[in-house]
């Protein structure tokens, strides 16, 4: 699944969606001196910086992940070889599995990633990272943070209702979308 991003100019939500479309929608605001242009990953809540030099097409091209250098293995599938250090009993167990070590490790990591994506606490943490960057100066931010980390969605919505820009709608939508899954 393609990563999803949010773009804000100050507290105004500019775009949300796949990286290329978010960068294209954000490009006209790259030199805004009044409000910073901030782009966040939906998966991690981390702010991502981009090189805005050149045309929008050049910006999008630079932001795309680079293909690995051709070498041994399965580069067309995106397989990357790195060292994994395990105890002998772990290697024995992995090698006894139907997909052997590599296939089993990939399945285990995919399962852990899927479980983490569904973890409600993780989604609250992601929202917290985004709000920390955007809303630190908003009235009642500290109390809203306490509501967020205690999982009190109703109180969080009430405390953020008077915030500036698109933040109240963003928080409400975040809560509604994440409570459905």
The 10s digit of each residue's pLDDT in 26-73 is 999 999 878 899 999 998 899 999 999 999 999 999 998 776 555 565
Instruction: Look at residue 20 and tell me if it is in a domain.
Output: yes
Residue 121 has pLDDT above 90, yes or no: no
How many domains in the chain?
2
Residue 100 has pLDDT above 90, yes or no: no
Give the model's pLDDT for residue 67.
63
Residue 58's CB: how many other CB atoms inside 10 A? 12
Please tell me whether residues 1 and 61 are part of one structural domain: yes
Q: For 103-121, what is the mean pLDDT?
A: 82
| Domain span including residue 107 | 75-118
**CB crowding 1-26: b at 16 or more within 10 Å, else e:** eeeebbbbbbbebbbbbebbebbbeb
Give the model's pLDDT for residue 70.
59
Decide: residue 134, CB within 10 A, 0-12 exposed, 13-18 middle, 19+ buried: buried
Decide: residue 167, CB within 10 A, 0-12 exposed, 13-18 middle, 19+ buried: buried
Instruction: Look at residue 125 and tell me if it is in a domain.
Output: no
More confident residue, 35 or 142: 142
């Amino acid at each position: 699944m393609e990563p999803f991003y949010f773009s804000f100019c100050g507290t105004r939500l500019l775009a949300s969606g796949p990286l290329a479309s978010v960068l294209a929608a954000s490009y006209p605001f790259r030199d805004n001196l009044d409000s910073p242009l901030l782009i966040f990953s939906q998966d991690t809540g981390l702010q991502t910086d981009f090189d805005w030099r050149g045309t929008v097409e050049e910006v999008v091209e630079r932001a795309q992940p680079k293909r690995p250098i051709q070498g041994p293995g399965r580069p067309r599938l995106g397989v990357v070889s790195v060292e994994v250090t395990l105890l002998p009993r772990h290697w024995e167990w992995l090698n006894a599995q139907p997909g052997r070590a590599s296939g089993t490790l990939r399945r285990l990591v995919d399962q852990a990633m899927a479980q983490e994506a569904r973890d409600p606490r993780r989604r609250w943490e992601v929202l917290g990272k985004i709000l920390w960057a955007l809303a630190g100066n908003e009235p009642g931010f500290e109390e809203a943070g306490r509501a967020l980390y205690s999982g009190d969605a109703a109180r969080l919505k009430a405390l953020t209702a008077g915030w500036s820009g698109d933040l109240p709608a963003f928080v409400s939508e975040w809560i509604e979308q994440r409570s459905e899954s």
